[in-house]
C-alpha cells in the first residue's frame, strides 16, 4: 500500500515529471495521427485498385489472346466452385488516342480495354466512378441526352468541389450544337497542299467538304468511356478543364491481331468519363464494348466464329484466400500460355513502397517516445539521489529491496500510462477533426494544407486501427517502465546505513 501512496505523492508534487508525460503524450499522439492518415490513404488507394482490377486476373501472355473464353470460365468454375461471385472476359491493347481541341490535334498514349457492359459490374466497382447517374446504375455505351454531374459526386464536402461547368452541356445536347461539330472535325488549321496529299497527316480529312450537313443520329460512332485524365487537365485552383466532353468524337490507332500486325484506326464517340482519382488509371485507360473491339482487332475467327480475349477477371467471395485461389489456377493452366495474378501481385511494388514508408515513419516517430524515455531515466536518477536518506529510512523501517524497486517501477508505469492515455485521447481527437484543422491552418497561412489539385481528393482520408493504437500505447508504456528500471535497481541496492549517512 505504501508503494501506491508514494507513487501518488510523487506524481502530484514532482512537476518535473510533467515534462516526461508531455513527451510521451506528444509521441503517442503523433504516431496515432500519422498511422491513421497513412492507413487512410493506403485503404483508399487499395480500394480503388481493387475496384478496377478485380480480385484475380487470368491473362494471356500473347496479345493475340486466348480463344473461347466461355471454355476458360467453365474450367475456372470447376476449380473454384462457390467462391466465385462474378467473371468477365476483357481484351486490352496499347493504342494512340487523338482528338481536336481548339484547332490542335491532341494525341495521348492509351490502353484500350474492351469490356462486357452486362458482366463487368460483377467483378469491379467501375460504375461508381462514372459521371452520369444512370451509367452508375448500369453502364451503357449509348450517349445520354444530358444530366452529367457538374459536381464531383465522390466529394464528401461539396463546398470544396470545383464545379465542372463544361459538363452542363455534355451529351446529345452538346453533340447537336454546331459548335460541337466544329470542335470535333472542322476547326483544325487549314492543311497545306502537301499535308492534304499525305494520308499520314493528322489534318487529312479534318475539314469536311463544302455543303456538308451534320445529322447527329447518323454521325454518332461506337461509344467509349474515357479516363478523365485523357480528356481534361486540372488547373491550380482545382478546377477540371475539359478538352473533350461526352458527345465529342475521338480517333484511336491500334495494332490488329494476326501476323504481321497492321496499324488500324477508327472513330469513337465519348459517352461518359471515368474518374477513379488514381492517376495511373485515369490518364491511361479507355473502355469500349468488348464485341466491337474484338471485331476491330480481328479477334473473331471468320470461319468458326470463335472469339479471342486477352484476360478473364474474377471476383471472389469476401474473405476468400486470393493467393490460394491463384495457386490453384496456376496449377491448372499452362504457365507458358497464361499469367495468373491477384490484384496485389499486379500492384506489388507500389503497395510495398507504401508499407516501407509507413514502417520508416513509425521508426522515426518512435524515437520521440525514446527521447521521453531518456528524460524519465534522468529524472529518476535525480529522484534517487535526492531521496537517498528517505530510502534508507524506509529500509530501516522494514521495506524490502523489492518494495523499493516496486515504488520506482510503479512510478514509471504511472508516467507511461498517463502519457499514453493522454496521447491516445489527443491523437483520436486530432484525427476526428483533421480536415477542419487543415482548413483552419490553410486560412491562416493562405496556402491549402491538403490541395485537391494535387491529391485529387477533397478530404484527408483516415483509418483508425485499434490494434495499431494498442501497440503504440504498449510500446510507450514499456519504454517508460524500462527507463525507470536502472534507477529503481540502484535505489533497491542502497544499504540502509549508507543511505542514512548520505548528505
- The confidence score (pLDDT) of residue 43 equals 82
Q: Mean per-residue pLDDT for 396-421?
A: 76
DSSP string, 430-498: HHHTHHHHHHHHHHHHSS-SS-HHHHS-SS------HHHHHHHHHHHHHHHHHHHHHHHHHHHH--HHH
Q: What is the pLDDT of residue 235?
A: 81
Average pLDDT over residues 317-333: 88
Q: Residue 189's pLDDT band (boundaries 50, 70, 90)?
A: very low
User: Is pLDDT larger for residue 311 or for residue 493?
Assistant: 311
Specify the pLDDT at position 187.
37
- Average pLDDT rounded to a whole number, residues 360-384: 78
Q: Which residues pair with 92 in a beta bridge?
A: 113
- From residue 433, give the alpha-carbon distance in Å to each of 33, 138, 158, 447, 462: 11, 36, 17, 19, 11
For the ranges 212-221, 276-285, 306-315, 375-384, the maximum mean pLDDT occurs at 306-315
pLDDT of res. 32: 92
pLDDT(131) > 60:
yes
pLDDT at 473 over 60: yes
Q: How many residues does the chain have?
A: 503
Most confident of 306-320, 336-350, 478-492: 306-320
Q: Are 285 and 111 in contact (CB under 8 A)?
A: yes
Q: Return the higher-pLDDT residue of 72 and 371.
A: 72
- How high is the pLDDT of residue 20? 76
Per-residue pLDDT reduced to its tens digit, 75-111: 888 887 788 888 999 999 999 999 888 778 889 999 9
User: Residue 132: pLDDT above 80?
Assistant: yes
Quick one: which of 363, 456, 469, 366 has its CA closest to 425? 469
What average pLDDT does range 354-370 have in this prediction?
A: 82
What does the pLDDT look like over 212-244, one tens digit per residue? 455 555 566 789 999 999 999 888 777 888 999
pLDDT at position 211 is: 47
Specify the pTM. 0.73
* 340/333 Cα distance (integer angstroms): 9
Q: Is the pLDDT of residue 65 over 90?
A: no
pLDDT in tens, 151-181: 877 766 555 677 888 888 888 888 877 444 5
As a whole number, mean pLDDT of residues 425-437 equals: 90
- Could you give the CA distance from residue 440 to residue 450 in angstroms, rounded to a whole number? 11
Give the per-residue pLDDT at 134: 92
Q: 55 pLDDT exceeds 80?
A: yes
Q: Using an 8 Å Cβ cutoff, are 461 and 353 in contact?
A: no
Q: Are 98 and 106 in contact (CB under 8 A)?
A: yes
First to last CA, the chain: 28
Residue percentage of the chain with pLDDT more than 70:
79
Supply the pLDDT for residue 164: 86
What integer is the mean pLDDT of 378-400?
Answer: 66
Task: Report which of 315, 341, 284, 242 is spatially closest to residue 112, judged by C-alpha positions.
Answer: 284
Q: Which cell goes with 348?
A: 506489388
For residue 352, the Cα-to-chain-centroid distance in whole angstroms is 13
Model confidence at 8, pLDDT cuts 50, 70, 90, reads low
- pLDDT exceeds cutoff 80 at 325: yes
pLDDT value at residue 162: 78
Per-residue pLDDT for 113 more than 90? yes
| Beta-sheet strands, E only, within 125-231 | 222-227
Has residue 195 got a pLDDT over 50? no
Is the pLDDT at 6 greater than 70? The verdict is no
pLDDT of residue 194 exceeding 60, the answer is: no
Q: Choose between 498 and 267: higher pLDDT.
A: 267
Q: State CA 6 to chain mean position distance.
A: 52
Q: Which three cell numbers stand for residue 181?
A: 461539330
Average pLDDT, the chain: 79
For residue 206, what pLDDT is reported? 39
> What percent of the chain shows pLDDT beyond 90?
19
Amino acid at each position: 500500500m505504501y508503494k501506491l501512496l508514494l507513487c501518488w505523492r510523487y506524481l502530484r508534487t514532482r512537476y518535473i515529471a510533467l515534462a516526461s508525460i508531455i513527451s510521451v503524450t506528444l509521441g503517442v499522439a503523433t504516431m496515432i495521427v500519422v498511422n491513421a492518415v497513412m492507413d487512410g490513404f493506403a485503404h483508399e488507394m487499395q480500394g480503388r485498385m481493387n475496384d478496377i482490377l478485380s480480385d484475380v486476373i487470368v491473362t494471356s501472355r500473347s496479345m493475340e489472346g486466348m480463344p473461347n473464353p466461355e471454355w476458360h470460365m467453365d474450367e475456372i468454375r470447376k476449380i473454384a466452385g462457390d467462391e466465385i461471385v462474378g467473371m468477365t472476359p476483357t481484351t486490352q491493347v496499347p493504342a494512340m488516342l487523338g482528338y481536336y481541341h481548339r484547332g490542335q490535334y491532341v494525341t495521348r498514349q492509351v490502353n484500350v480495354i474492351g469490356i462486357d457492359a452486362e458482366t463487368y459490374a460483377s467483378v469491379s466497382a467501375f460504375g461508381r466512378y462514372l459521371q452520369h447517374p444512370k451509367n452508375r446504375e448500369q453502364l451503357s455505351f449509348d450517349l445520354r441526352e444530358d444530366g452529367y454531374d457538374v459536381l464531383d459526386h465522390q466529394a464528401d464536402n461539396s463546398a470544396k468541389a470545383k464545379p465542372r461547368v463544361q459538363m452542363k452541356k455534355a451529351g446529345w445536347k452538346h453533340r447537336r450544337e454546331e459548335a460541337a461539330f466544329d470542335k470535333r472535325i472542322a476547326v483544325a488549321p487549314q492543311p497545306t497542299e502537301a499535308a492534304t496529299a499525305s494520308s499520314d497527316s493528322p489534318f487529312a480529312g479534318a475539314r469536311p467538304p463544302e455543303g456538308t450537313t451534320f445529322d447527329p443520329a447518323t454521325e454518332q460512332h461506337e461509344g467509349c468511356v474515357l479516363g478523365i485524365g485523357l480528356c481534361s487537365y486540372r488547373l491550380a485552383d482545382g478546377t477540371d478543364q475539359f478538352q473533350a466532353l461526352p458527345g465529342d468524337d475521338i480517333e484511336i490507332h491500334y495494332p490488329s491481331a494476326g501476323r504481321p500486325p497492321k496499324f488500324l484506326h477508327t472513330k469513337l464517340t465519348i459517352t461518359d468519363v471515368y474518374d477513379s482519382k488514381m492517376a495511373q488509371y485515369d490518364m491511361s485507360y479507355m473502355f469500349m464494348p468488348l464485341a466491337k473491339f474484338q471485331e476491330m482487332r480481328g479477334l473473331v475467327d471468320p470461319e468458326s466464329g470463335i472469339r479471342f480475349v486477352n484476360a478473364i477477371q474474377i471476383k471472389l467471395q469476401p474473405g476468400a484466400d486470393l493467393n490460394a485461389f491463384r495457386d490453384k489456377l496456376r496449377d491448372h493452366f499452362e504457365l507458358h500460355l497464361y499469367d495468373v495474378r491477384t490484384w496485389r501481385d499486379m500492384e506489388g511494388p507500389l503497395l510495398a513502397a507504401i508499407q516501407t514508408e509507413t514502417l520508416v515513419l513509425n521508426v522515426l516517430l518512435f524515437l520521440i517516445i525514446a527521447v521521453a524515455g531518456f528524460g524519465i531515466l534522468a529524472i529518476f536518477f535525480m529522484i534517487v539521489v535526492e531521496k537517498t536518506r528517505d530510502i534508507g529510512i524506509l529500509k530501516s523501517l522494514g521495506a524490502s529491496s523489492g518494495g523499493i524497486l516496486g515504488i520506482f517501477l510503479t512510478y514509471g508505469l504511472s508516467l507511461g500510462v498517463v502519457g499514453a492515455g493522454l496521447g491516445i485521447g489527443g491523437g483520436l481527437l486530432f484525427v476526428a477533426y483533421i480536415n477542419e484543422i487543415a482548413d483552419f491552418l490553410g486560412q491562416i497561412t493562405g496556402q491549402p494544407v491538403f490541395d485537391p489539385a494535387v491529391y485529387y481528393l477533397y478530404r484527408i482520408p483516415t483509418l483508425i486501427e485499434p490494434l495499431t493504437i494498442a501497440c503504440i500505447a504498449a510500446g510507450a508504456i514499456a519504454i517508460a517502465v524500462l527507463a525507470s528500471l536502472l534507477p529503481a535497481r540502484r535505489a533497491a541496492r542502497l544499504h540502509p546505513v549508507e543511505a542514512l549517512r548520505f548528505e
